[in-house]
Homo-oligomer: A and B are copies of this chain.
């Protein structure tokens, strides 16, 4: 009803609507068949339009995939953030286990979305800045938990660290709230390093399970996952107890 300088005219509304239908159809095809089989023409057919018309909305197939990538990053980020937020005040170590479990559950529920972001990168895809902002949300949760653990005195200060501040990218420190690398206290920088290890073990554990590398090795995947998470957590000084 309000009329701003750039109002939403009928055409713009129609365009936005088609765009969201397009994304929904693409998402559906992604979830059911995987990114490799996601064809722009098939999505166009689902929408009942000519394939050439899709190019009015999306410059290329890779661009469409990029949109789905951002969606996926936001989805995992949201899952992790929600679990962390719901655990108000609980032991950060146990919260980390819950976060990790939730991310694993998300990945098992939509394996193709997980693959899209943490599997083999899409050919010709170069992360645009929009992606980075969404991609980094999971990191943010991990860093937050480690900082809480340090604050609570639950984080074992010893561990295989190394001169950290100088080797962390400014973006990573910015996630933790430090815009000027030189002002970062040593313990915070150490936390950033440890967050990398936790992130790696999380992504690694899910990848290895999802991509079939445990097929002839582990029996109980969920338990194996828990043990892996607990082990890497112990490595960075977080004591996670299982059952």
Measured as residues with beta carbon below 8 angstroms from the partner, the interface class of chain A is: 35 or more
Interface set, chain A 119-176, CB cutoff 8 A to B = 119-121, 123, 127, 132, 135-136, 139, 159-162, 166-169, 171-172
Cβ of A18 under 8 Å from chain B: no
B228, A196: Cβ atoms under 8 Å? Answer: yes
Q: Considering the chains assembled together, what is the distance between the CA atoms of A239 and B46 in angstroms?
A: 56
Complex CA–CA separation, A200 to B236 (angstroms): 16
The reply to whether A227 and B115 form a contact with Cβ atoms under 8 Å apart is: no
In the assembly, what is the distance between CA of A231 and CA of B161, in Å? 9
B196-A200 in contact (CB<8A): no
Residue-wise, chain A 212-226 has the 8 Å CB interface mask toward B (1 for contact) of 111111111001100
- List of B residues within 8 angstroms of A240 by Cβ: 160
Residues on the B chain within 8 Å of A121, using CB: 211-212
Does A218 contact B196, Cβ atoms closer than 8 Å? yes
Question: Which of B36, B132, B212, B230 makes the CB contact (< 8 A) with A216?
Answer: B132
Residues in chain B near residue A168, CB distance under 8 A: 217-219
A26 in the interface (beta carbon within 8 A): no
